[in-house]
Structure 1
Amino acid sequence: MNRQQILDLYDWAAGVCFRHPERGEVLTALVKTLHPPGHAEHDLRVCEDCVVAIEDARRETAARTGGTYEPGHVGEAST
């Protein structure tokens, strides 16, 4: 899959990437909602560059370990 095909698998909204907060508000995808004890829930969001980087890492890990790689599941537990 190319970059745009991978990005199209995600829902995008304005937000701050947790890996690049210095970029300010950009298009981001929700990765996970954290529920820290005693605090309000917090959405963990990543920018387009990070989605692609994380997907690349997931694909490489699957290839190295003989696992299955299916794009579009950043933030979900690996199987």
Structure 2
Amino acid sequence: MDRQQILDLYDWQPGICFRHPERGEVPTAVVGVVHPRGDGEREVRACVDCVIAIEDMRREEAARSGSEYRPGRVGEDAG
């Protein structure tokens, strides 16, 4: 799967990337949810570059462990 095919697996909305807040509002996808004490829940969003980096880490880990790599699943349990 190429980069664009992987990105197409995600729902993109304007937001602030958790690793690059200085970029301001950019297309982002949900990659997690945090539950700050007394403050409900907050989505953790990542930009295109970060989603690809996370997918690369997942693919490498799957190869090391002998597991199946299935793209598009970052943040799957986020909601």
Tell me the secondary structure at the aligned position of residue 43 of structure 1. Answer: strand
Question: 5+ residue gaps in structure 1?
Answer: none
- Residue-pair matches, total: 77
Higher relative contact order (CA 8 A, sep 6+): 2
Superposition TM-score, scaled by structure 2 size:
0.90
Q: Which moved more, 1:62-71 or 1:36-45?
A: 36-45
Question: 5+ residue gaps in structure 2?
Answer: none
Matched, 1:44 2:44: yes
List structure 1 runs of 4+ shifted beyond 3 angstroms: none
Task: Tell me the C-alpha RMSD between the 2 structures.
Answer: 1.3
* Whole-Å separation in 2 of the counterparts to 1:10 and 1:2: 14
* Whole-Å separation in 1 of the counterparts to 2:76 and 2:41: 17
Superposition TM-score, scaled by structure 1 size:
0.90
- Alignment-derived partner of residue 31 in structure 1: 31
